[in-house]
Amino acid sequence: SVQKFIIGGGQRPYTRFAQDKKGAIHIAFTTGHPRNEPTNKIFYACYKNGAFYKADGSLIKQYTGSESALNIDTNQADVVYAAYKGKGWIWDIAVGKDGKPVLVYAAFPTDTQHDYYYARWTGKRWDNHFIEHSGSWFPQTPAGRTEPEPNYSGGIYLDPSNPKVVYLSKQVNGVFEIYRYTTSDKGATWEQAAITSNTPAGLVNVRPVVPRHRKAGYFDVVWMRGTYQFYANQQYHTGLMFAGSAKERPLERLKLSERQLYMLEGTSHQLSVSCVPFLTPDKTVGWQSSDEAVLTVKEGLVKALKQGKATVTVAGANGVTATCVITVTEPHYLTSAYFDFGTSDSPLSPGALRVTESSRLITSYGWLSPVLSRDRGEGQPDDVRDFNMGGEPTVFRVYVTNGDYRLTFKQGDKAYSHDKMTVKVNGKVVMQDVTVEAGALLTQTVDVAVSRNRLDIEFSRQGSDPNWVINALTIEPLKKTVNPSETIQGEELSAYLMSYFKDDTHGLYFAVSDDGYTFTDVNNGQPVIAGDTIAEQKGIRDPHIMRGPDGCFYLAMTDLHIYGKQMGYRDTEWERPGELYDWGNNRGFVLMKSKDLINWSHTVLDIHKAYPEYNLGCAWAPELIYDPDKDRIMIYFTMRKGKGRTMLYYAYMNEAFNALETAPELLFEYPDSTKQILDADITRLPDGRYAMMYVAQENPGGIKLAFSDHINKGYVYREGQVDYERGSCEAPNVWKRLGEDKWVLMYDIFSVKPHNFGYAETSDFIHFTNLGHFDQGVMRRTNFAVQKHGAVIHLTKSEAERLKAWYAR
């Protein structure tokens, strides 16, 4: 687990580590960052044999494994440099052949004077020796701008195999060059030799590093060369250089940065290529596209022109080539979205799409140029602990359908304040001079009109802090249609009906509620219909109820009894051989129809018999929804072919509701072909879109959400889950609160004992509020338990009273 290591200093202590041949770990660290600490000191400690020690061997503390035992206070460690010649910054640590630690660091009498020092433990004390004046900072600060990192020295590094040698970067005639310095008297005097010289003005040679365990003659020193203003947003154009004595070898192969790539029409992407071996004399390459109508390539820069597929080939010496297959697609246009900006492993808000520094524009959204991701760690609210940031103006593009939208921005940082940030949308300034203090989270909303199917959201800054930040962004359509009628034949809908089943009976149950919060079983916890009276397998599961456009009630249930053998209904574990059709195999569904919820007609729908070509392995969790375009009830369900993975399918019922009118077709395909998906639930939204909840059997399995403009196709995968469970859950069902623009997500938590229902609430299908479990929050039940796979619809008062009276006889 992650534990705090250094305490008692300032913000962001910097550390360096080196391990000796006996396994001891030598540690150098600072008070904090020199930008924040005017007397930034440098300290030393050593970890060996389960304890921390000073250089003279005196004990600092034992490490017992607890977090408090790991914490080293700066007052307990050796002080190597006490900032007596200005604040310091550690650069490197190594261990000499005598087993004693050696450090190199920079000291700053002023921000424009950077001096390098060599510190060595003699066995009794720390000896500090001046090496060289470095000059000032190396970032090439634009005219008129205050340098945000004035303590960025050119850099100094020890040769770990021989700490008598250091490599450093210093200013020579205004240009940073790399030098090798050697001492034969423990740092008192130094001899120097240039590694670089006569570098053209405008370029820098900085940050030299000596690789550990390097092969002799290869990469004796590696450094960065190019132009550099700032570490974010492509404000640097640098490459790696090295010095060594190894011989060159012929080119053997080329390695491309990508072998397969997806791009959107009108976008560009830079491919890079490296030569193997690196020390080859001829690194000249040529680039070619197999179809220039689809894409072009010049010096590795690919421009996507139209939909299609083409191959980019890069060719080098000796006939050596490498290829990248690129597919160019058109964007998918969103109608709403909730973006959570952070790192790849920081917490993801329920229902949100994750955006990181790697989120390149390839489908519907992404950054057009590089940014940075940060996660400030546990103990902070999810919205403020993680974010994306940058120093230069950077665009986040989202493809949307044309229309009016409301954008909600959240900006903040636990550790630092950020001032004078600006946000533009499609070239127009919508927020300016935005300032947020450290630890705060600022939420602002703007309304925009979109006419070119995209939102180009540009973030920039003009303040003293070097970065802008963005934590979260919500995009919501402004125009909504009128909510569906909440009356039936002139009578107001005012009650709720829940259908569910139980494992011990495999029967159908009803519960009613007057307020949508407290539910009471109408038959005192007993089935309203026994499964063995209606199902071929003598049991039903997963009941789903809906009200049709004709006012009738429709039920669809899985025809399956998982304990049929134990109950004496069959002689085998499953209806058909498990080795051919796997767990829980069945043939179809039980369908029922009623005008009054009391008298029901019923049909057994045998999908296996009707469509033998599907080699049906199972058909579970049917749900029903009316499709106004087809004027038919659509049934959608989980289906497995043979022993394959479960997927989501749909078909249309005939008018009599006793047979399928169309063959099952795929409803949605999950992007990870190794994962099973199941238990879909579709809700028609007020703006005409459709929201589909479903379950992906990941770890843990949970409730996911997809949107589409169509009832039976076009559902777009969204990362993350919308449930609030630590364990697995399934069987989502969404129902509306009467008289409110709120919807309730209900789901079955089979990972808790006894199993229970969980609830969340939303007004926009983007943000969800946790309502807890049955009897552990606002949702209550009065006379039943261990219910499974529920569905809720609305009733009139007279319908609810008639149902309760019937079972109270």
Evaluate if residue 786 carries a pLDDT over 60.
yes
* CATH architecture group of domain 6-243: 5 Propeller (2.115)
CATH 2.115.10.20 maps onto the chain at 487-807
pLDDT in tens, 180-229: 999 999 999 999 999 999 999 999 999 999 998 887 767 789 999 999 98
pLDDT in tens, 85-104: 999 999 999 999 999 999 99
Question: What DSSP string describes 353-402?
Answer: EEE-TT-BSSSSEEESS--EEEE--TTS-HHHHEEEEESS-EEEEEEB-S
**Structure-block tokens of residue 746:** 């209900």
The answer to whether 475 and 407 have CB atoms below 8 angstroms apart is yes
pLDDT in tens, 115-132: 999 999 999 999 999 999
642: left (phi over 0), alpha (psi -120 to 50) or beta: left
Bridge partners (DSSP) listed for residue 502: none
Widest Cα–Cα separation across the chain: 104
pLDDT in tens, 320-369: 999 999 999 888 788 889 999 999 989 888 888 999 999 988 778 999 88
**Span 472-488, mean pLDDT?**
70
Evaluate if residue 483 carries a pLDDT over 50.
no
Bridge partners (DSSP) listed for residue 603: 591
CATH 2.60.120.430 maps onto the chain at 337-477
Provide the whole-model pTM: 0.55
Q: Is 253-329 assigned to CATH 3.40.50.11540?
A: no
Q: Which of 329, 270, 277, 328 is nearest to 302 (CA)?
A: 270
Per-position b or e across 345-366, b if 16+ CB within 10 A of its CB? ebbbbbbbbbbbbebbbbebbb
The answer to whether 617 and 623 have CB atoms below 8 angstroms apart is no
Beta strands in 502-631 (DSSP E): 508-513, 518-521, 540-547, 553-559, 588-594, 601-606, 616-627
Per-position b or e across 545-576, b if 16+ CB within 10 A of its CB? bbbeeeeebbbbbbbbbbebeeeebeeeebbb
pLDDT in tens, 286-308: 999 999 999 999 999 999 999 89
Evaluate if residue 233 carries a pLDDT over 60.
no
- The secondary structure of residue 653, as a DSSP letter, is B
The answer to whether 76 and 60 have CB atoms below 8 angstroms apart is yes
- Residue of 232 and 189 predicted with greater confidence: 189
Question: What DSSP string describes 239-288?
Answer: EEEEE--PPP----EEEES-SEEEEETT-EEE--EEEESSS-S----EEE
Q: Is 337-477 assigned to CATH 2.60.120.430?
A: yes
Evaluate if residue 278 carries a pLDDT over 80.
no
Average pLDDT, the chain: 92
Q: 3-class DSSP state for residue 167?
A: strand
Q: Is 487-807 assigned to CATH 2.115.10.20?
A: yes
Task: Give the per-residue SS3 of 202-231.
Answer: CCEEEEEECCCCCCCCCCCEEEEEEEECCC
Evaluate if residue 69 carries a pLDDT over 70.
no
Beta strands in 20-123 (DSSP E): 25-30, 42-48, 51-53, 59-62, 72-73, 78-81, 87-95, 101-110, 113-121
pLDDT in tens, 762-785: 998 988 999 999 999 899 999 999
The answer to whether 431 and 457 have CB atoms below 8 angstroms apart is no
- pLDDT-derived band at 484 (thresholds 50, 70, 90) equals low
pLDDT in tens, 378-405: 766 666 789 999 988 999 999 988 889 9
What does the pLDDT read at residue 221? 92
Per-position b or e across 262-273, b if 16+ CB within 10 A of its CB? ebbeebebebeb
What does the pLDDT read at residue 733? 98
What does the pLDDT read at residue 479? 58
Q: Which of 392, 434, 438 is nearest to 409 (CA)?
A: 434
What does the pLDDT read at residue 234? 61
Bridge partners (DSSP) listed for residue 456: 397
